[in-house]
Chains A and B, each alone.
Chain A
Amino acid sequence: MNWEVVIGLETHVELATKTKIFCSCTTAFGGAPNTHCCPICTGMPGTLPVVNRMVVEFAARAGLALNCEITRKNRFDRKNYFYPDLPKAYQVSQLYLPIARNGRVPIQTEQGGEKVIRIHELHMEEDAGKLVHDPWADQTRCDYNRCGVPLIEIVTEPDFRTAEEVVAYLEQLRSTLEYLGVSDCKMQEGSLRCDVNLSVRPVGSETLGTRTEMKNLNSFKAIARAIAYESRRQIELLEEGKRVVQETRRWDENKDATFSMRSKENAQDYRYFPEPDIPPLELSEAYLEQLRARQPEMAQARRARYQRDYGLPASDAGILTGQKALVDFFEAVIALGAPPREAANWMLGELMRRLKEEGQEPKSMALTPGTLAKLIGMVSAGRINRNTAVKVFRAIFPDDGDPEEYVQAHGLEQVQDAGLVERTVEEVLSNQTAAVADFRAGNVKALGFLVGQVMRQLKGKADPQAVNRAVSERLKQPEN
């Protein structure tokens, strides 16, 4: 029998606000345990939540960017369960009226086509704390620094059929949220986490099979491998005439397999009800209009514009727009006057090479757009040639050094003196009689050699094209 895999995703994204969703504690990552806490986020009796304005704005902007309908009147609900990472024993979330619903995210399929993933809903909620088990004392330490960090949860319809589609969607989602600036989407720090709901059914069947939910997926690679493993596991079960049990399974990266998790509660009955401590939200059309007007140009639109207006090849435009840090850098460089194609060439060539060498991410590099723009300007002004510029770039990249200073300090400025170039050409040609004779005998390669010799004499600081021109001119002249 042929099987079809059906996948839906629940993605939790930490919002990049400065403070927590219901109190003014910092959301900064790290920090000694329980130092980013106050009586509100540790659930002390009598304390009350007050919603962070920016959380609503970020959630609404994410909803708009994912083509959702914004729930103009939305509100918070309490989800009740006991667990030590949740000090109030309820999580403030949105069940009945989430801030956004019915979205659409277009993704590119492997076949090169487009597919639309439907968003069921997007809602705001608070994160839970961190539990660290101490095996020596057989006890668990509770750190509430993450309690109350704002999250949005984005729930898709079961529209995925392959792991590739899932990864394409997540890349699209990450790019969109990064472009919006609502999240830094760092999977390693847990600011983007994914639960995968997966079931299988015979091809052609309309009814959904029993699904499992996989948690603890913290990289795209893990997601792809977990999907491969879990769909195989389910298909094997069904082919052996067994049943799939509806349960939560944990992906174990090291064992490359999923394992059944004991559920948090023996009975899962969250008893959601409207949060009485938080008045409802009512988003006006004017407010939404204002947010829409402020939405940045997203990756796809920018990709098209770079191809159209700057004549960049599709692949180059794709790489530049693939990461927010890169695209921001690019825009900044051209805003400083660098020709777009030139800027793109530098970034896709030397910059990417240096990043790779240093094992760095674009968002963490020291180099600033001003520096690259200055370097490009020096090349186009003819003050240094391209080869020199590459040398300068490589040297100043790690610490964002000043190209001007570097060039001065190392005496790399291009020779501007035409007389000097001419005299050097004269000198080289008179010394390299064999090569000159070769050239005149029809060996065109000898020209390159001669140009190289002149450049060498000038310590590489001349414009190679000008040298080339001068050598050619001189060779055209009759022998004297």
Chain B
Amino acid sequence: MKELLDLTALQLGAAIKKGEVSIEEATRAALEAVEANQKLNSFITRTGEQALEQAKALQVNAKTAASPLYGVPMAIKDNICTKGVKTTCASKILGDFAPPYDATVTERLATAGAVSLGKLNMDEFAMGSTTETSFYGPTRNPWDTERVPGGSSGGAAAAVASRSCWYAIGSDTGGSIRQPASYCGVTGVKGTYGAVSRYGLIAYASSLDQIGPLARDAADCAAVLDTICGQDPRDGTSLAFQGSLLDGLTGDVRGLKLGIPADCFGDGLDAEVRRAVLSVAGALKARGAELVEFSFPVMRYVVPTYYILAAAEASSNLSRFDGVKYGWRAEDFEDLTDLYCKTRTQGFGAEVRRRILLGTFVLSSGYYDAYYKKALQVKGLVKEAFDEAFCKCDLMLTPVAPTTAPRLGESLSDPLQMYLSDIYTVSVNLAGLPGLSMPCGFDAAGMPVGAQLIGPALAEPRVLNAAYAFQLDTSWHKRSPAGKEAHG
């Protein structure tokens, strides 16, 4: 059974197609792994019985199915709507909300024959970098259960890293796929803004949110993106993005200009992380890529810009949670306003309340121009800076996070410090660009380090191909926490 879990999603998909493995066998193996990894708390809702039924139903067409991921068990972050299955955003306020509709992504996965094991833990409403703000308790890092898995897609990263599922669907507003992927030693991609439909993704910051995959390697990520991307008539911001990413993986990076922005490797970056990330440059250079160094001073401004915009949109997006139409409602209210206030104050956690208040402030009368409008202007400058950088290079290489995964409880005490740790990821969301995080080494404590590849808009094929090339030559992505224990 262990070997089955060690297969990549594509390998398992191929084995299912050939009839070497039944979908039910794979599903049972995953369910056992989920059970065995319960201490990680990576799932909020498990749908084992449904998964087994689905597995049996899907088996009929296993040999003729078109998708290379047909029958492969996976799991979905709990801010993506699943019809009839509880979708909580890891918040008390959504209570037992079971949406009467599917997200477009959920539908596309089902059409492609994915087996869903359940819904994954996350920071409440995707606000956090550690998965500690979940109402359902923190998820733990499979490499060291005293450490956080990152966030907000911490449940997704931990589930993939612990071999509890072959891939997971996460969401990324300021790094929420890439940073946990980095902390947990898996590969994660946030595509170009609009490449994947947001319909059914419970919004945190609408202009920045993107759904994307977390998986064992770049090829699996490409296959998942192929499944879920593309224009959606229900999402006006979605793009006519053609997939075929998997077919584009050649490993040929000759002549690729890899940009190394000096401002991403300066103060505040852990030395071990720097060394590991720069090893990617070396590996790609060995395959014929060209390295280009330049300064990227706009980095100074990206965190405040991101937090102003994200908080502002969040304050509006989260206003609909009032205890009336769905979700949890406070008891003992005196009148309408009291119902709203009690439900929201008790239903949201501290970090969500903080961001709602911050967002309300930056939009409020008298402060809009100084904060919100200013941030929209700086966003324009960030986009320009990337446009310029991509005149000099084809891809950029940066760290994902300044350090490897911190210990549980270390981050939440100082919100500003937590925000600052998002510095390398948020700029990518501001500019709407594709970004990928992949394992590129381990620190002395044995924790995985991630490297980020950033491409111009719609350059997903280039980003994934570079990661694929790197993974052809390295085996960081093949390590598993269990393997590490075995070595130790």
Which of B98-106, B381-389, B394-402, B453-461 sits within the interface? B98-106
From residue 71 to 94 of chain A, which have CB atoms closer than 8 A to chain B?
78, 80, 82, 84, 87-90
CB-contact partner of B340 in A82, A269, A278, under 8 A: A82
Most buried by A among B101, B103, B205, B360: B101
Contact with A along B195-227 (1 / 0, CB 8 A): 000111111011100000000000000000000
Give residues 299-322 of B contacting A (CB, 8 Å): 312-313, 315-316, 319-322
Residue of B nearest to A82 (CB): B340
Asked if B19 is at the interface of the complex by the 8 Å CB criterion, the answer is no
Indicate whether A33 reaches chain B with its CB closer than 8 angstroms: no
Residues from chain B with a CB closer than 8 A to the CB of A51 are 236
Complex Cα–Cα for A379 and B53 (A): 78
The residues of B that contact A276 with a CB separation of less than 8 Å are 205-207, 237, 313
A interface bracket (residues with beta carbon within 8 Å of B): 20 to 34
Fill in one digit per residue for B318-359: 1 if any A CB lies within 8 Å of its CB, else 0.
Answer: 011110111000000000100010000000000000000000
Interface centre among B81, B207, B319, B321 (most CB of A within 10 A): B319
Inter-chain contact total with CB atoms closer than 8 Å? 101
A43 contacts partner chain B, Cβ-Cβ < 8 Å: yes
**Considering only CB atoms and an 8 Å cut-off, how many residues of chain B contact the other chain?**
44
Q: A84 to chain B: which residues have CB within 8 Å?
A: 324, 336
A42-B325 Cα distance, complex, nearest whole Å: 8
Tell me if A's interface is mostly helix, strand, loop or mixed. Answer: loop
Instruction: Decide: B319 and A88 in contact? CB cutoff 8 A.
Output: yes
Cα–Cα, bound, A276→B316 (Å): 11
* Known contacts A48-B198, A87-B320, A90-B316; A269/B236 CB under 8 A: no
Q: With the chains together, A26 CA to B440 CA distance in Å?
A: 54
Q: What's the nearest-Cβ distance from chain A to residue B106, in Å?
A: 10
Tell me if B372 is interfacial: C-beta within 8 Å of chain A. Answer: yes
Do B319 and A89 touch (CB < 8 A)?
yes
| Interface: B365 (CB within 8 A) | yes
Residue B108 at the A interface, CB < 8 A? no
Expressed in whole angstroms, the Cα–Cα distance for A80 and B253 within the complex equals 49
A449 interface residue per 8 A CB criterion: no
**Whole-angstrom CA separation of A235 from B360 in the bound complex:** 40
Flag if B97 contacts A48 (CB, 8 Å): no
Q: B201's contact among A43, A46, A49, A80, by CB below 8 Å, is which? A: A46
Task: Indicate whether B410 reaches chain A with its CB closer than 8 angstroms.
Answer: no
Q: Are A47 and B319 in contact (CB under 8 A)?
A: no
Which one of B89, B326, B363 contacts A271 once the chains associate, using CB atoms below 8 Å? B363
Contact of B319 among A90, A272, A274, A278 (CB under 8 A): A90
B364 at the interface (CB under 8 A from A): yes
**Bound CA span A334–B202, Å:** 58
B363 with A273: CB separation less than 8 A: yes
A47 to B94, CA, bound (A): 15
A271-B360, A273-B372, A276-B206 known; A46 and B99 CB under 8 Å?
A: yes
Q: A44-B326, A46-B200, A49-B236 are in contact. Are A273 and B97 (CB under 8 A)?
A: no
Q: Are B365 and A269 in contact (CB under 8 A)?
A: yes
Say whether B236 contacts A48, CB under 8 Å. yes
Residues of A within 8 A of B368 (CB): 271, 273
Is A277 an interface residue when CB atoms closer than 8 A count as contact? Answer: yes
Beyond known contacts A44-B101, A50-B235, A90-B319: 4 more, CB 8 A cutoff: A46-B81, A46-B103, A142-B324, A271-B316
A-B contacts, 19 of them at CB < 8 A, read A39-B101, A42-B325, A44-B99, A44-B100, A45-B320, A46-B198, A46-B203, A48-B236, A50-B236, A80-B363, A140-B336, A269-B365, A271-B315, A271-B360, A271-B363, A273-B368, A273-B372, A279-B236, A279-B237
Query: Which B residues fall within an 8 A CB radius of A?
Result: 80-81, 87, 89, 94, 97, 99-101, 103, 198-203, 205-207, 233-237, 312-313, 315-316, 319-322, 324-326, 336, 340, 360, 363-365, 368, 372, 376
